[in-house]
Amino acid sequence: MKILVTGFPGQLAASFARMPVGSHAFEFASRADIDVTDEAAVRRKVAAGAYDTIVNCAAYTAVDRAESEADEAYLVNVAGPRNLAAAAAETGSKLVHVSTDFVFGGRDASRPIPVDALHSPLSVYGRTKSEGEAEVRAILGDRAMIVRTSWLHSVNGPNFVTTMLRLMGSRDSLRVVADQVGSPTHVDTLSKTILGLLKADACGTFHVTDSGVASWYDFAVGISEIASAKGILQKPITVEPIRTEDYPTPAARPSYSVLDTTRAASILEESAPHWRTTLSASLDDVQREIMNDRGI
């Protein structure tokens, strides 16, 4: 299968580059190779490449900055997928478009959010991602695969894990929001699951996250505990739980954004690993880098 992956070297696109190639021929495209907002360039690239599948990892992901850069966020997150979907429709390529838990507001939710729940985004970023999904559905219908995920991390940040490790290395204590709940997800869980769903020839909308639920506070405590046990941090740091209103941000965030992943799990006949398991495996890579640097 010939697969074009956009948005390289973003953290998800970089994860596809780490996957065993198997029978796939991957082509990774940075913004310089293909700017997804440039309709003509997208059409040319997709027509010339004769790809079986396009995986759109290109996105405007600066959630807070999007509040003041809405035009740029709309271009990348709405016009981008529209251009890719139109080009895929012309060539018959399959489009996998990656979306987010932020399409939901999660204000009243208290149980995992089903794939067909109504969108109620609270931020510019969430609205752009919701409209990007709608563009893909309008052009390709159920021939597209839309995959929503949440709280993505890898050692190639910036993301919550890399930010926490940096702050935990230089401070004695941290205050972290405890009243927003979701599922931290390692990028490799997402890329592996997308490849599995492609192999199963799946179409439609899926939720893919690591299993387990955490608040940002729980996640920070997990990072501190696991990184200390591996010698990445000298000692566990004190993490103080705070409320959302104690840490104001330009963009509002869902208080509950746990996604119901049963649809993907039932097709693949396996459930995702727990977020602490993938976090620990990911921090093994950081530990190896530290040992290499120290010549151990």
Ligand X SMILES: NC(=O)c1ccc[n+]([C@@H]2O[C@H](COP(=O)([O-])OP(=O)(O)OC[C@H]3O[C@@H](n4cnc5c(N)ncnc54)[C@H](OP(=O)(O)O)[C@@H]3O)[C@@H](O)[C@H]2O)c1
83 binds ligand X per the rule CB under 6 A: no
Instruction: Answer whether 272's CB lies under 8 Å from 210's CB.
Output: yes
Stretch of 5-13, 168-176, 255-263, 275-283 contacting ligand X, by CB under 6 A: 5-13
Q: Which of 96, 98, 124, 161 binds ligand X (CB under 6 A)?
A: 98
Contacting residue, 3, 4, 5, 12, with ligand X by CB under 6 A: 12
Distances (CA, A) of 12 to 28, 99, 247, 255: 11, 12, 28, 24
DSSP state of 236: P
Catalytic residue, from 51, 125, 217, 256: name it. 125
Is 125 part of the annotated catalytic residue set?
Answer: yes
Beta-bridged to residue 56, according to DSSP, are: 6, 97
Considering only CA atoms, give the Rg of the chain. Answer: 19
- Tell me if 27 sits within 8 A of 4, measured CB to CB: yes
Q: In the complex with ligand X, which residue's Cβ is closer, 35 or 210?
A: 35
37 binds ligand X (CB under 6 A): yes
Which 229-258 positions form the footprint of ligand X (CB under 6 A)? Answer: none
> Within positions 43 to 72, which residues make up the interface with ligand X, using CB under 6 A?
57-61
Q: Give me the count of residues in the chain.
A: 296
Please identify, using beta-carbon distances, which residue of 215 and 228 lies nearer to ligand X: 215
Closest to 79 (Cα-Cα) out of 38, 126, 51: 38
Identify the DSSP state of 256: B
Subset of 119-158 contacting ligand X (CB under 6 A): 129, 149-152
Single out the residue of 3, 5, 28, 35 in contact with ligand X (rule: CB under 6 A). Answer: 35
CA distances from 39 to 54, 82, 229 (A): 15, 9, 49
Give contact residues for ligand X (rule: CB under 6 A). Answer: 6-7, 9-12, 31, 35-37, 57-61, 76, 80, 98, 100, 129, 149-152, 159
